[in-house]
Amino acid sequence: MTVNIPDLSFSEWVLWHERATIPGCERGGVYRLALYRYPEAYPDMSWERVRYIGMTTDRGGLIARWRKHDRVIKRPQQDRKRWYDQGEFDPATSRFEGNENSRAGRKLFLFVSAMPVGPSDIINTDKDTEHSNPDRERTNGIIKFLEHEAFAQYMGYNQRFRRPKYNVL
């Protein structure tokens, strides 16, 4: 059997509140999050704006993973994890209003870009069948490989950093 590993190819950037419009987001895959000052500039964003690279192989797909991020972002500021601590977040506009910890109270917009991989029925986290579906295992391996390829591309763009700002080693 031959396994074809696709080239890393992300969707166009969309504002966070439009993330469900990314085709295939019900599947697992790799994604990037970026912060930028202008909401209309997202088609031109490059690796320099990427602040987080992630992946999921969960049955709920990318959209379920992003719901977890969304719940954290909407928490009161003092309860948020470090990478979300940019200020107050408005989910309707994907806009952060900077706080005293951010640079001069900047206003930033959160964007997402993704590469969904594999059909939804292959990506399954049911513990009884965890190792019984070879296609699921291959798909999960490809997703994990593509996440590392995204890190490699990020490093190629920015030689000073091994990972984006909010990826913990």
* pTM recorded for the entire structure: 0.78
List beta partners, residue 34.
50, 111
Cβ neighbours around 48 below 10 Å, total = 10
Chain mean position to CA 81: 16
**86-99: per-residue pLDDT in tens?**
445 555 556 655 54
pLDDT at position 89 is: 56
Contacts of 157 (CB under 8 A, 6+ apart): 46, 47, 48
Q: Domain boundaries in the chain?
A: 14-157
Can you read off the two tokens belonging to residue 66? 């992003």
Using the structure block, give the residue that is written with the tokens 């602040």.
51
At 7-54, the pLDDT tens digits run: 899 999 998 889 999 999 999 999 999 888 777 655 567 788 888 899
CA 122-144-35 angle, 5° bins: 110
